[in-house]
Structure formats: structure tokens, C-alpha cells
Structure 1
Amino acid sequence: MNTFSRRMLLVAGLALASITPARAEDILLTIETASGQEEHFDRERLLALPQHELVTHTSVTDGVQTFTGPFMRDLLAEAGVTAETLTAIALNDYQIELPAEDFTRYDVVAALEMNGETLTPRDKGPIWIVYPRDEFVELQDIYYDYRWVWQLVRLEEQ
């Protein structure tokens, strides 16, 4: 094998290595589609989606907070989800069914940051589903508070 061929082989190998899927320990969110296919999202893939700021009160923090992350509808579109209902599952196994209509009707954010700080499991991360509570009176009802899933790790299409 000549020097040029070796270099091309090395370049091709490095290019392939750069597109390997996320390592299991880097995965923040898994979305299972109705067909059983899983889409895995690490922080980099989540940050590649358009990021939005949502300024709102919550029922579990004091004062107004600024949340940053992709809209849930963009995240679901990226995963190819088209169902009317999803099951959201948190790190502590909390589960709730969420109507997908929420994500088209409201600008719900899959928050990765709060007040400019990366969310961690200690402060409701790595992902927190956040509704624009201050913009809609109906979202201030406890019925919607249950949908604010923190420590989100999995979504399953129903």
C-alpha cells in the first residue's frame, strides 16, 4: 500500500469515527416510537435543535425563571413522533401521559438550562418539560403542573 492510500484510509477512518452514535453514558433522552425504534439524544444533538427561552414562574421554584431548550414539538419531529399521546418517564420512574396537542398548542420547552445554568439531576435536569405557565391562565391549574416532568429520561409514543 502506498503512502497516499494509507493517508486516505486514515482520513476515511477518522471521518467515520466522528459520526459514531452517542455513547450510552452520554445519552440524556431516549424516545421510543410506536414502531419500537429508539432515538437517542445526547446534549450535543439536543443543542443542535433550535433553542428557545421561556420566562415563567413554576409551582416548585421561587420567582420568575428563564428556561432554555428546544421546543418539545421540534424534539418530537426530530425523532419522527406523530402520535397523539406520549408517556413521559423521569429518572425516578415517575410517569405521565401527555397529549401531543400540548406541544402544538403551547410553546412547551424541553429545558436544558435554567437561568443560564445547565440543569443536572440535583436541580431537575438534565431535561425538564416546562410549560409557558404565565402566558395562559389554564396552564396555572394543578392539572398541568403534573405534566412538568423533571429529570426526564424517556418518552414513549403511544
Structure 2
Amino acid sequence: MIVLKRLLFGSVLMALGASGAVAQEVLLTLTGAVADGEVKLTRADLDALEWHEIATSTSVTDGQPVFRGVLMRDILDRAQASGDTVTARALNDYVIEIPMDDFHEFDVIAALYMDGIALTPRDKGPVWIVYPRDDHSVLADIRYDMRWVWQLSALHVQ
């Protein structure tokens, strides 16, 4: 027990910078046609954007969970992204190309919460691309289901 406490205390100390503040973990990295070729976003960066909620059904959950996060187009605007396609990569190395038009045609969010609970890597987080499926009948198509990237870690814009 003492060893565990020392390990935890040591980890906390390592996370503290010279100022004593806890270092911000990068949640999402954008590369390609973005500002300076790479933009790393922390939770604080996402918190600075306008938050949205979507209540919608999914192909992997029951009912209509309420998702909370920021619009994908706002993230791309923040990164000064310009391109036609976004290649989304998950922590589990799932990769899919998503047309940039999706983010302008629909209010797609980068969800960080589902039903008020923060998403974690064990439960599709920390970031999950969520489409407003129930608001547009076209989004019930399996092509869009493939674009619901959970455990999102990176976007490459081209």
C-alpha cells in the first residue's frame, strides 16, 4: 500500500510543471492542411469553444443518449483547416476518410460526454465523432455509421 501511494504521489509530481500546474493532456492532434502543419488540442482548448448537445440514437447504444461536445467544424476552424477530406484515426488504429462537407452540412460534434458522463478510452472516449442521426434520415445509412469514430485521437486534413 505504501509503495502504491508513493507511485501515485510520484506520478502527480511528474505531472506538475515548474509553475505547479497540472500539464494538459493532448486529446486531439490535427495534421496536414492546418495551421503550421500541426495543431494539438487539449481539453482547455476544447472548453474554449462553444459546446453543443445532441440527443440521438446510435448503432451501438440503446435509446437516445444525450451527447455533449463541440462542433467538428469549430475544431477544424480553430485549426485553420482547409481541404476536402479529413482522415480520422482512433486510439485503436481505426482509420476512415470523412468528407469535410459532412461537418458543414450536419451539426456533427466531437462528443466528450454521453448522458452527462465523461467518455473514457474504455467507453468510446475521450472523443467520439457523433452525427445528429435522428435529425436527418440520410444519416441512418451505414456509410455514416462508419464515420462515428470513437476513441478519436487524430485528424489529418487534405
> Structure 1: how far apart are the matches of 2:33 and 2:41?
17
Q: Which residue of 1 aligns with 2:147?
A: 147
Greater shift, 112-121 or 33-42, is seen at: 33-42
Deviation of 1:66 (Å): 0.4
Q: Note the C-alpha offset of 1:47.
A: 1.1
87-96 or 30-39, larger mean C-alpha shift: 30-39
1:42 alignment partner in structure 2: 42
**TM-score under structure 1 length normalisation:** 0.83
Identity of aligned residues (%): 54
What pairs up with 1:121-136 in 2 under 5 angstroms?
Answer: 121-136=121-136
**Structure 1 residue matching 2:107: 3-state secondary structure:** coil
1: CA distance between counterparts of 2:126 and 2:56?
Answer: 19
Q: 1:88-103 to 2 correspondence within 5 Å?
A: 88-103=88-103
TM-score by length of structure 2 reads 0.83
The answer for the alignment partner of 1:3 in structure 2 is none
Q: Distance in 1 between matches of 2:136 and 2:68?
A: 19
What are structure 1's unaligned runs of at least 5 residues?
Answer: 1-16
Deviation at 1:33, TM superposition (A): 2.9
Deviation at 1:87, TM superposition (A): 0.3
Q: Is residue 2:80 matched to residue 1:113? A: no
Q: Distance in 1 between matches of 2:134 and 2:41?
A: 29
Unaligned stretches of 5+ in structure 2?
A: 1-17
> Are the equivalent residues in 2 in contact too, given 1:33–1:80 (CA < 8 A)?
no
CA distance in structure 1 between the aligned counterparts of 2:119 and 2:92, rounded to whole angstroms: 16
Aligned equivalents of 2:79 and 2:86: distance in 1? Answer: 13
Corresponding residue for residue 77 of structure 1: 77
Instruction: Please identify the structure whose Cα radius of gyration is greater.
Output: 1
After TM superposition, the runs of 4+ consecutive aligned structure 1 residues lying more than 2 A away are 33-36
Q: Report the alpha carbon displacement of residue 34 of structure 1 after superposing the two structures with TM.
A: 2.3
Aligned-pair RMSD on alpha carbons? 1.9
Aligned to 2:12: none
- AA of the residue aligned to 2:92: N
